Structure 1
């Protein structure tokens, strides 16, 4: 029995190593900022984020799927398909209102986490968030570490602290860190207001701290960083068909990413999952309609 266990462990290490040899980077950190409209980027005091834009590639014209609301777009971001296919149709969907066209063995439309779990089972993956709704969209049973910042109203940097600790302790292969605070400001004070830009500046500081944690963990040079959003907004709302609500940033920088600046190719919300799958050499399921942004990579 002991020999069989050792053999299985060895095979697991072999398959992990074989899969990793296809990867463009050993680690991917995706930082999601809820309610971050692309219109704000040129005006915002976000030096860390703008440094990532200068050192990598980006578009300020990635479009959300419709309706341009939270659950719908976080789902599309993680699962490579649009509303009509995954079935989440409202801002706070917890289960698909329309039956998903396909589901995996855990009963959920296949997500990027599902692919990592099935094709790279030894990989360390994490999903960390402030808004509770995220956990209903990501196939939590396929993720190594799922955590919500429960008290961020009292401790605004709680999620950032949690991400720093997780990165230093576990050196995850893929982690998504999803901040909700900008969306709250958009609803209370309004989009494109001084309060909105103050919060963006605060979030830029959190991005800087996460980058510092990657360096402290010794994995920064083998990491790709992605920053993006679910939707933008106008006045104190979102969900409509204006470009201020639908156009969102996508920024990517790090190992094997070109210093290419703005790219002109079109990008949709569901292309995010496909681009992450491309980094890890994952086979995309037939149900996904996303396309990887291969033009951003140097190899």
Structure 2
């Protein structure tokens, strides 16, 4: 497996609570990009399928029983700097002390309690429309950013309000696709798409275990998520292994940037991703 070393930066764009439901509503911006790269609707998140546990697994490459994050901890405590499971952002900071790292998270506990404070992020928390515009402005002004992460929270809120997979939830996903389109346009405008890896995914689904407005169970509706990426070295229409995990995201980011993944990480680079 050889990754193109023309990948100079990574964008990780996350939609909270989207599960695999993006295929049930209009998402033209997401699909245009990911169908030109790699996309699966059968990736798996971690149990319990709750935001902090799942985003924590994505950043730190391990199951919740190891990173020990919960929504309550993330909202009140910084992630321990002595953890044997560093995030991919901390890995980048250690490799490049002066590089630009950014996190635009609508749900502020991601910036404050899931990502280590030593990462020295440009950290922003705003509602969805404003968050997309702020990220777009940042990208255009900082084309030398190394990693930029985004999290849109409104889709999960719509799932809790309307029921996951129901009309209000699906409309929120379509709205979020528009916000992601704003960010992708900024990446294009800045001339960065040609040498960037763009990952788009979610943390969990919802509506499983007979609870249409909730999530957290091991039901496939809660556990099954979409995951996709686009960038140098990824052939259009790449088929991803059925066992792809949200934990693999950290390993993919590290590998794309030429960083050595910690042996403590459980996530792996899918063997069929980079060609």
* TM-score (norm: length of structure 2): 0.90
Residue 198 (structure 1) aligned to one of 171, 174, 178: 171
The match for 2:103 is: 127
Shift of 1:108: 7.6
Partner Cα separation in structure 2 for residue 213 and residue 54 of structure 1: 20
Shift of 1:64: 1.1
The match for 2:36 is: 55
The 3-state SS of whatever aligns with 1:296 is coil
- Alignment: residue pair count: 266
The 3-state SS of whatever aligns with 1:210 is helix
**Are 2:244 and 1:263 aligned?**
no
1:37-58 per-residue CA deviation (whole Å, 9 max, x = no partner) reads 11x1332111111112320011
Partner Cα separation in structure 2 for residue 264 and residue 79 of structure 1: 21
Partner Cα separation in structure 2 for residue 258 and residue 104 of structure 1: 37
Shift of 1:272: 0.8
The match for 1:93 is: 73
Residue 61 (structure 2) aligned to one of 67, 70, 80: 80
Whether contact under 8 Å (2:36, 2:230) holds in the other structure is: yes
Partner Cα separation in structure 1 for residue 271 and residue 76 of structure 2: 30
In 2 relative to 1, CA 57–95 (structure 1 residues): closer, same or farther, beyond 3 Å?
A: same
Gaps of 5+ in 2: none
In 2 relative to 1, CA 265–278 (structure 1 residues): closer, same or farther, beyond 3 Å?
A: farther
The match for 2:213 is: 236
In 2 relative to 1, CA 278–24 (structure 1 residues): closer, same or farther, beyond 3 Å?
A: farther
The 3-state SS of whatever aligns with 2:272 is helix
**Are 2:268 and 1:288 aligned?**
no
Partner Cα separation in structure 1 for residue 165 and residue 263 of structure 2: 39
The match for 1:177 is: 150
Q: Hey, which bits of structure 1, 4+ residues long, moved more than 6 A?
A: none
Gaps of 5+ in 1: 1-20
Partner Cα separation in structure 1 for residue 238 and residue 4 of structure 2: 25
Partner Cα separation in structure 2 for residue 95 and residue 130 of structure 1: 13
Partner Cα separation in structure 2 for residue 271 and residue 96 of structure 1: 27
Residue 90 (structure 2) aligned to one of 114, 122, 126: 114
The match for 1:30 is: 12
1:185-239 per-residue CA deviation (whole Å, 9 max, x = no partner) reads 0011111111111111111111111111012112121111111111000011000
The match for 1:44 is: 25
1:143-169 per-residue CA deviation (whole Å, 9 max, x = no partner) reads 3311111xx2xxx40110111011111
Shift of 1:275: 0.8
Whether contact under 8 Å (1:72, 1:93) holds in the other structure is: no
Whether contact under 8 Å (1:260, 1:296) holds in the other structure is: no
Partner Cα separation in structure 2 for residue 108 and residue 208 of structure 1: 36
Residue 65 (structure 1) aligned to one of 16, 26, 46: 46
In 2 relative to 1, CA 210–287 (structure 1 residues): closer, same or farther, beyond 3 Å?
A: same
- Higher Cα Rg, which structure: 1
In 2 relative to 1, CA 189–145 (structure 1 residues): closer, same or farther, beyond 3 Å?
A: same
